[in-house]
Chains A and B, each alone.
Chain A
């Protein structure tokens, strides 16, 4: 039976040699190599649940009066978009499960990408010959952030409307061209012309997911063609990769991980409430609420916007840099720019142009590890600063004083972290060296004793 199927396939497609290679392709084993897979599986769940949601969502800002089953909103004027999301949540059978799973999957998707990327960075996996894989991964992270933002903006509830107003202001703040760019995207001043919503929808369900899907394909092809990296170990060299074959060894593990990820997402979607938009009410430009927080992956930008002093350089009536540019555009550009340039910076600084199939442990490259830790500390502190208002409410620390403290801390702590991490790496290296010397000395001593 198996033989006949294989023969059928090969005689018509000539794929037997490729299949043979694919089935016996070697995966080096390490738990941290599975992080990218989690992101992939979350993406699959996103597409699947997203298709369902698209059957019920109405991308229109046309005003309607709500007459659904949710009593508190009875008779309230709202957009068709918001009404349809309320209906998905409260009237469509299994709709809330799919919506919440979709939202959770987006959060997990981006979390998995970020952790995956940290692994890649701190082990030096981006080095030659895998720079392209790294750049594509970074691009996907940026697209995923945008995709997530558009996704929750589509609901047109109070919170997402505030988020869109901020996004509009960041677009508007681009030096020299912002107002023109915003005119193109919104087709008018905020909240924009009626065609803005279908545009956003089209980007969310077609442009961005297709772009991410294509990039995932290229990313995986590049991974496969260059093979996985691996940590040092017995028989593992720069020339030879050691691990489990795709089939049979890796297949049940990967499928298990896929089902595990899916399970987690459906359990979260069913049991843990996320973004109950019917409680927020519809958005109008003159409405806002205190304590609003975006999805976690945009928290660093809120922090950046909030921490910025009121700098808005202008002369002769011309405004060169409207303030939201600093925190909302310059800050992420700086972070992503640094990450994009890092492989070339490292190449130039170290002069290392060789192939690297063996991974570094973080301690093996103290400069890189220290720099990466400092960058993560900087971004993380700004991320935490984004919730200073919540800290004020829950712990009674004055918001204003917190902001002044952050102005100091975000510059000092990364430097401290850099120094500490660098020292720790060096000490770990020294300790290993001492231990191996010690071991060699012991062996020699024992050999000398048996000789006498």
Chain B
């Protein structure tokens, strides 16, 4: 019993620690022989062990609740495990694995095969008499089948119905409300502050719903012709969605610093399109190609702000028909 245990132990030891001796004839080899490098092998073994250790830490960290900074520890354990693996393989690559330099021919064009393929193709079809007609018929059929196969993709959306782009919830008398649905009062609108408002009862996320509301001195205003009475007491409302790329206009340049900032401006933080609220939202700077659409305002008897109609132009980023119609 003890004897067999001993021989097992010896066998295990030899298996683990023993080095393989290759007795084959060195001349008939495919892979070039090289010097043995037990030191490097040992280094690789140690690196593999380190990798194993780091990897083992991962489930341990995972299982231990309430460790501080688990993400960092988990990342370190996996990251280091892979780093040690990489190091082990590089140690093996430099010194343990045979370093050979082989040559191989680049493939040359196989002219004979090319010729044969061409012949097969040509000779298989050379009995056809009405080549062009046949090609035309097959092409037409193919195109028709292709169109049929992509037709269901039209169900993805109302591809020819552009009415949504002109739709807004605004109409004369619609109240302006804040994010919580509370009506905006004219008296609460201060200068040097901007307010975000929505059409009462409408989806706040709809492009046509959100507004940016500010108050300027009535004397400052130079609104375009036809917008008389759109800004009662100097209170102005513009679409909040930038006419350039659809981001929310969320910067209000005021109070002013005269040397560099000549007038109040509404600015979009995405590409810095800059609109002048005093002149009807005209573009002062930046890539926007259209003014910010203005919403006419009314002050109702209770002091509530209401729309006096719809926007001066369709809100939102430009498309081919954005200037064709007024919003409805």
Contacts and interface: CB of A to CB of B under 8 A. Distances in A.
Interface stretch (A52-60, A232-240, A339-347, A423-431): A232-240
Contacts of A289: 250, 269
Contact of A286 (B102, B103, B154, B204): B204
Given A188-B158, A188-B164, 13 more contacts: A24-B104, A26-B103, A97-B75, A185-B157, A189-B207, A260-B82, A267-B79, A267-B80, A286-B241, A310-B289, A312-B289, A322-B289, A323-B244
15 contacts: A26-B102, A165-B270, A179-B165, A180-B162, A183-B158, A189-B206, A189-B316, A252-B89, A253-B93, A263-B81, A269-B75, A310-B288, A312-B289, A319-B320, A400-B285
Interface string A160-196: 0010011011101101111110111111111101000
Contact of A322 (B99, B206, B318, B325): B318
Interface in A208-259: 225-227, 235, 238-245, 248-249, 251-253, 255-259
A270 B72 contact: yes
Interface string B15-51: 0000000000000000100000000000000000000
Nearest to B211: A286
A17 interface: no
A302 interface: yes
A171 B162 CA distance: 15
B247 A166 contact: yes
Interface of A: 24-26, 93-94, 96-97, 100-101, 162, 165-166, 168-170, 172-173, 175-180, 182-191, 193, 199, 225-227, 235, 238-245, 248-249, 251-253, 255-260, 262-271, 284-292, 302, 305-312, 314, 317-320, 322-324, 327-328, 355, 357, 389, 398-400, 403
Given A24-B102, A259-B85, A267-B79, A314 B323 contact: yes
A85 to B, nearest CB: 15
A166 B74 contact: no
B287 A306 contact: yes
B53 interface: no
Given A241-B106, A320-B320, A248 B287 contact: no
B248 A286 contact: yes
Task: Point out which of B62, B196, B323 has the most chain A C-beta atoms below 10 A from its C-beta.
Answer: B323
Contacts of B89: 252-253, 255-256, 259
Contact of B106 (A227, A271, A324): A227
Interface in B260-314: 260, 268-273, 283, 285-290
B322 interface: yes
Contacts of A173: 317-319
B107 interface: yes
A393 B52 CA distance: 47
Interface residues of B, number: 89
B156 interface: yes
Contact of B321 (A24, A179, A288): A179
Contacts of A357: 106
A284 B250 contact: no
Contact of A249 (B81, B98, B160, B244): B98
Contact of B286 (A169, A189, A199, A310): A310
A100 B78 CA distance: 13
B157 A324 contact: no
A285 B209 CA distance: 10
> Closest 3 interchain pairs by CB?
A270-B75, A312-B289, A267-B79
Nearest to A328: B245
Contact of B102 (A101, A170, A242): A242
Contacts of A324: 244-245, 287, 317-318
B208 to A, nearest CB: 8
Interface string B100-135: 111111111000000000000000000000000000
Interface in B157-193: 157-162, 164-165, 167
Contact of A284 (B107, B159, B204, B319): B204
A184 B157 contact: yes
A305 B283 CA distance: 16
A317 B324 contact: yes
A426 B165 CA distance: 57
B251 interface: yes
Interface in B63-77: 70-76
Given A252-B90, A267-B79, A398 B260 contact: yes
A176 B320 contact: yes
Contact of B320 (A251, A286, A322): A322
A140 B87 CA distance: 30
B160 to A, nearest CB: 7
A243 B288 contact: no
Contacts of B241: 285-286
Nearest to B87: A256
Given A165-B245, A262-B82, A267-B75, A305 B271 contact: yes
Contacts of B244: 169, 305, 323-324
B118 to A, nearest CB: 18
A202 B323 CA distance: 35
B103 A235 contact: yes
